[in-house]
Structure 1
Amino acid sequence: MTKLESVDFHFDIMCPYAYQTSRWIREVRDRTGLVVNWRFFSLEEINRQEGKKHPWEREWSYGWSMMRIGALLRRQSMADVEAWYQCAGQALHVDGHKPHDPAVARHLLAELGFDPALVDQAIADPSTGDEVLADHQRVVAADGYGVPTLFFPDGQCLFGPVLIDPPTGDAAVRLWDAVVAWTEFPHLYELQRPKTSADEQAIGETFRPYLEARDWVSINRGEVISFGD
């Protein structure tokens, strides 16, 4: 199997599944030298209900605005946007804080050693929204519908893997090899494990911090998290 040197990882900071998968892909990167390019995707937009505003039409939109901050940091380096995603993701999905609150976002930036004013700079700069939208539309053009979505150098994209207990060590690399092997079969569309009641309970416990910290109503469409107005 040909060793891949890079992958594009599309995420929305608000998505608990994408956060868990990002922990895994970073472990793969650290063990294999894989280059991870961090890209965006908006669950607010893909699941927008008819008649509701687009996220870019609001003064502040939860995931969208967080990714606009990420877009500004990505101009500096992939390492900077990764640090932002990791910090904000842990704040929401592990610690149960509200990084989608502008005041909390400023505090997290300061913790990372970044200027808290980046929050206001990102929102004042319309081109940050353009960057988020361009990444988002790339997934939509490939008939993607959620995150995590991976894009491979040959143009193939896969949704997933969807998990709540990201493997580490050699197991993380074995999962990566299995994901890469999937791309050998372009007409293999779906392989899914049914969720038992025990699985649902484990998912609920893993996502408890996120569920308690969110300020929106989620609509589950498959594994996609949608947002209210």
Structure 2
Amino acid sequence: MTTRVEFWFDPSCPWAWMASRWVDTVAAQRDLDVSWKIMSLAILNEDKEVSPEYRAFFPRAMRLTRLVAGVKEEYGSAYVKPLYDALGTRIHPQSRKDWNAIIVESVVEAGLQEEAARLADTEDYDFQLRESHFDGINRVGEDVGTPVISVNGTAFFGPVISPAPTGEEALKLWDGVVAVADYEGFFEIKRTRTADPIF
């Protein structure tokens, strides 16, 4: 049977990136129907007390989420995942910091014209961005981050993993996630994170 998966991500989040690589590995071996959706760490934390360093990250993060939201609205959902892959590769494993170059290169790699990069700097699709964000967050509650994943209609925050498992390990983790998602009374498993992202 096909497993319906919805995956909400912020391109800036290394934990969402790791989980997305894992879902890609599983999707290559299992029958998954994955919908890739945008959420925003800046929106999630806009009314919260956060450190000045973290708040300084929000404008850059908003450019990337606005870009994805705008591309979805103007060009279609089919471009969301290729754009995420292009952005994420440059931001996370490559550790690049030239955001203008990252944005332009990523839209081109995703199959769009360079002019699509302008969508990073417009608020025209903020309503749709917030709608997508809160669609994910309202399924899991406010005390979470990214990614948010829904499996056959049951949504949860995470998993937070490092490094992304491959091969049989990826499938074993996936089977565990599906098992807990299938249990209506399941809400939370958590332990303190002791590792940084390993790309």
Deviation at 1:104, TM superposition (A): 3.0
**Secondary structure of the residue that 2:156 maps to in structure 1?**
strand
Structure 1 spans left out of the alignment, 5+ residues: 53-59, 208-229
Residues 1:22 and 1:136: Cα distance change in structure 2 (over 3 Å) = same
Residues 1:190 and 1:105: Cα distance change in structure 2 (over 3 Å) = same
Structure 2 equivalent of residue 189 of structure 1: 187
Matched, 1:85 2:92: no
Structure 1 equivalent of residue 61 of structure 2: 63
Residues 1:50 and 1:177: Cα distance change in structure 2 (over 3 Å) = closer
Structure 2 spans left out of the alignment, 5+ residues: 51-57
Q: Which amino acid aligns with 1:138?
A: D
Q: Which amino acid aligns with 2:16?
A: A
Contact 2:79 2:110 in 1 (8 A): no
Contact 2:11 2:84 in 1 (8 A): yes
Q: Which amino acid aligns with 2:95?
A: G
**Secondary structure of the residue that 2:82 maps to in structure 1?**
helix
Q: Larger Cα Rg: Structure 1 or Structure 2? A: 1
Match of 2:70 among 46, 62, 72: 72
Cα distance per residue 1:124-170 (max 9 Å; x no partner):
461x222211011113322143111112333x211111101111223
Using the size of structure 1 for normalisation, the TM-score is 0.72
Residues 1:78 and 1:5: Cα distance change in structure 2 (over 3 Å) = farther
Structure 1 equivalent of residue 40 of structure 2: 42
Structure 2 equivalent of residue 167 of structure 1: 165
Deviation at 1:67, TM superposition (A): 2.1
Structure 2 equivalent of residue 140 of structure 1: 137
Structure 2 equivalent of residue 130 of structure 1: 127
Match of 2:114 among 116, 122, 127: 116
**Secondary structure of the residue that 1:114 maps to in structure 2?**
coil
Aligned identity (percent) is 26
Contact 1:10 1:149 in 2 (8 A): yes
CA distance in structure 2 between the aligned counterparts of 1:130 and 1:61, rounded to whole angstroms? 17
Q: Give aligned pairs, total.
A: 189
Using the size of structure 2 for normalisation, the TM-score is 0.82
CA distance in structure 1 between the aligned counterparts of 2:34 and 2:48, rounded to whole angstroms? 35
Deviation at 1:72, TM superposition (A): 3.3
CA RMSD of superposed structures (Å): 2.5
Cα distance per residue 1:153-194 (max 9 Å; x no partner):
33x211111101111223212211110100232322222234
Structure 1 equivalent of residue 8 of structure 2: 10
Residues 1:15 and 1:119: Cα distance change in structure 2 (over 3 Å) = same
Question: Runs of 4 or more off by more than 6 Å in structure 1?
Answer: none
